[in-house]
Amino acid sequence: MIISYRFCVAGFYEAHKLPEPVDSTQVSQIIVDTFSSAHGVTFIKGDNYNFKGERDVPSTLAQCIKMRYKCQQQARKFTASKHDYTKTRNRVRKLQRFDCKGQISIYFPNAQSDASFDFALDYRHAIHEGSKHFGVPKCIRDWIHNNPQPSPLFQREALIQAIKRGELPTVKYRYFPVSHISYWWRKKVAERTYISKDAWVNVDNILRNHPSVFTGNGAF
Ligand SMILES: [Zn+2]
């Protein structure tokens, strides 16, 4: 199952008290760290370039600087050893890697742009080995199903508050890693909520009423 979000974010620099002009590398690291911890996936820096536009991407994102981060489990290309054949080689096989195409793209408007957002984000990642999700009791999974929140982080926060309020009497407070809650958020909330094939439409629906993430009328 591929998890995909695409949305524009406004008010982020203000919320994080980032001085202008904003360092887009620093900002993208904050974003990537947030998604990494929310989904239990590690992303590494890819390329960045002047984006010229693509068929399925809103035209307001053309002329943005596009920064890409790729899932760490992307298969490595085979490279022939440069060592002489008489020399000892590392013969230990690499760990099995899942050839993941998952990536985060972040679009920053260029200096001339009058765009109303700080940046736009395109997250695509398929669940694969390495995303842990075991050990979450059924009552919590059911609670997530009945109390959907707009993101895994909000879901986890709401869950912890509910446990503190005693809404889940059989659950004594204990640590729930974000990655576990994320998995069940995806199963219980995202799969039900992301109804359209067009991810831009879906996220617009989900985040339209979410002032801290989305401002304006949701239009690009
Ligand atoms: Zn991956």
User: CA-to-CA distance for 167 and 215, rounded, in angstroms?
Assistant: 32
User: CA-to-CA distance for 119 and 113, rounded, in angstroms?
Assistant: 12
Cα(100) to ligand 1 centroid in Å equals 4
**Given this model, what pLDDT does residue 41 score?**
76
Cα(37) to ligand 1 centroid in Å equals 13
Cα(163) to ligand 1 centroid in Å equals 31
Within its chain, how far is the Cα of 183 from the centroid?
Answer: 13
Q: What is the pLDDT of residues 165-210, one digit of tens each?
A: 988 887 765 667 777 777 777 777 766 655 455 555 555 554 554 4
Cα(4) to ligand 1 centroid in Å equals 12
Q: Which residues surround ligand 1, an ion (CB under 5 A)?
A: 71, 73, 100, 102
Q: Enter the pTM of the model.
A: 0.55
Cα(161) to ligand 1 centroid in Å equals 30
Cα(203) to ligand 1 centroid in Å equals 21
Are 200 and 194 a contacting pair, CB within 8 Å?
A: no
Residue 215 confidence (pLDDT) above 50:
no
Cα(33) to ligand 1 centroid in Å equals 14
Q: pLDDT-derived band of residue 107, with 50, 70 and 90 as boundaries?
A: very high
**Given this model, what pLDDT does residue 214 score?**
36
Average pLDDT, the chain: 75
